[in-house]
Amino acid sequence: MGAKVLKAVVSSVFLPEGKELRRLPKAPARPRTKKFKDDFEDRALVYDVFWHMDARQVLMVCPPAVNLAPYWSEATFRAYPGGQVLSAQFHSIRSTMTIVLEDVPGGTKQIHFTFAGQEFTADIGQNLAKNFVGARMIFTMSQNNPLHWMDTWARYHQLIHGADAVVVFDNGSSIYQPDDVAENLAKVPGIKQVLVVSIPFKYGPHDPAVLFNRFWANFLQVSTFTILLRRFGGRAFGVLNVDIDELAAPVANSNIFEVARQSEDGFCSMRGRWVESIADQSNSTAMPDHLAFRSVLRDCRHTLNARKWVLDPSRDWLADLDVHPSPHRIKNMPREMARRAADGLFWHFKGINNNWKESRSRTEKGSFWTHRHPELKALFEQYLTAKNDQ
C-alpha cells in the first residue's frame, strides 16, 4: 500500500505586468548583468496565504519589501466575505517577510488588500499541519531532478533515519509534472505521506553587487522554509532540511530526528562534507545515483561552511513569528541555543547535480588527491542491507 498523497496549492499575488512599480534590488544604482535583472523577482508581492495552526490568524508569506516598504506600511487588509478590517503585523528578515493578520473571523475565505492604490484578492489556503502530526518529515525544493535520484534520497532517509513524510516544492520542472514526483515518492516503502507543492516562480539570482550576502535575492527558496514550518510541518515529530544531493549521515544507535528531539532546544545543526563527482567504475548508468559516489578529498579540512539542520517544531521558541528558518540556519534563533545545538553530519554529493546553478558534474582533482572514504562505504552497506531487508 502506497503513501497518502496530499494536495496543496499556493495563493500568490503579483504586481501587474503593465505597471511601472517594481521591487528594486539593494543599492539599485550598482551595475548588474542582464541575467541578474532577468532572474531577480521584482513583481511578486505574496507567495502564499494560509491559516495559522491556531485558526485565528492568517499568514501571508512574501518576498522582502525593500523599496516597497512604504506601500506595505500603508496597505489595508479585509476579510472576505464580511469585509472586516484586519490588523497586520510584519515580521521580516533579509530575504523574506511574513505578514500576520490577527483575529480573522471564522469562515473567512479570502483576504482583500490595497497596495499602492491597487486592489488585490487572495484565497486563504488550509493549514495542513494536522495531517503531519508525529511525522518524521524531510523536505526540499527541486527542479528537474531525475526521479530515481529522488527515490534514493527519500528511500535512504526512510531506511537510515525513519523518515515517513516527504514534502517537495517543485520549482517549475519541465521534464515531468508535480503529480509524477508525488507518484514516484509514494511508492517508497515506509513513506506514509507525500506532498508536492507546485511553486513555479523565480528562484532568484546571486547578487555580485552585494558583497556580504550574495544569496540575499533567493527570495523564493527562503520563503518556502516559512511555508513549510508554518503551514505543513508545525506538528511533526521532526523536520529535516536536506536537498536531493544531500544525505544525512547515520547516527549510532539512533537517528537524526531523535538527536534533535532529545536535544535541549530541539535543534540539531549538521556540518557538511563534499563527496567528489567520481563515479564508481562498476557503475555504467548515464545518471548514477548517490551510491556511485564514494570519493572525498584526502585533505580532511575540505568541509562545508554552510550547515543544514533538523528541528523539533513543537518547541515553544519556534512559535515566535520573528523566528525564520532558512537554508543553513534559523534566523533570530537565540544565540545561546545555536551555540549548544546538537551536532550532526551530512554528505553533499557533487555528482548529484544537473548543473542548474554551477557545474559540479566533474572533479578538478585527480585520483591522487582523493580516496574512497570508509564511512561512505559503511553508510552504503548499511543502506543496501536495510533495503534488501524490506
**Dihedral sign, Cα of residue 284, residue 289, residue 292, residue 293:** positive
Domain of residue 100, CATH code: 2.60.40
Please check whether residues 216 and 279 belong to one and the same domain.
Answer: yes
Q: How many Å apart are CA 23 and CA 2, to the nearest integer?
A: 44
Write out pLDDT tens, residues 28-64: 999 999 999 999 999 999 999 999 999 999 999 999 9
Percent share of the chain, pLDDT over 90: 78
The answer to whether 338 touches 329, Cβ cutoff 8 Å, is yes
For residue 102, being part of any structural domain is answered with yes
What is the separation, in whole angstroms, between the first and last Cα of the chain? 14
Pair 66, 45 in one domain: yes
Say whether both 229 and 249 belong to one domain.
yes
Mean of all residue pLDDT scores within the chain: 91
Residue 25 inside a domain? The answer is: no
Last residue of a domain, one of 88, 123, 158: 123
Are residues 64 and 206 both part of a single domain? no
The band of 10, judged by pLDDT with boundaries at 50, 70 and 90, is very high
CB contact at 8 A, 157 and 242: yes
* Identity of the amino acid at 70: P
Whether a cis peptide bond, with omega within 30° of 0, leads into 313 is no
Confidence band (pLDDT; 50, 70, 90) for 282? Answer: low
Confirm whether 4 is domain-assigned: no
d(CA 155, CA 186) in angstroms, rounded, equals 11
DSSP per position, 269-294: EEEEEEE-S-B-TT---SS--GGGB-
- Neighbour-count burial for 13-40, b at 16+ CB within 10 Å, e otherwise: bebeeeeeeebebeeeeeebeeebeeeb
133 and 276 co-located in one domain: yes
Q: Is residue 153 domain-shared with residue 38, that is, in the same domain?
A: no
Residues of the domain holding 35? 10-17+31-123
CB-facing half-sphere around the CA of 162: CA atoms within 13 A: 14
What is the distance between the alpha carbons of residues 201 and 183, in angstroms, rounded to a whole number?
Answer: 23
User: How far apart (Å, rounded) are the C-alpha atoms in residues 147 and 153?
Assistant: 10
Using the predicted structure, report yes or no on whether residue 302 has a pLDDT greater than 50: yes
Would you call 117 exposed, middle or buried from its count of C-beta atoms within 10 A (0-12, 13-18, 19+)? exposed
Q: Of 83, 103, 123, which one is at a domain's C-terminal end?
A: 123
pLDDT score for 357? 44
Residues 6+ apart with CB under 8 A from 205: 35, 36, 39, 40, 217
Residues 84 and 192 in one domain: no
Range of weakest confidence among 35-44, 145-154, 329-338, 369-378: 369-378
With beta carbons less than 8 A apart as the criterion, state whether 185 and 151 touch.
Answer: yes
Report pLDDT digits (tens) over 153-178.
Answer: 999 999 999 999 999 999 999 999 99
Residue 387 C-alpha cell reads as 533495503
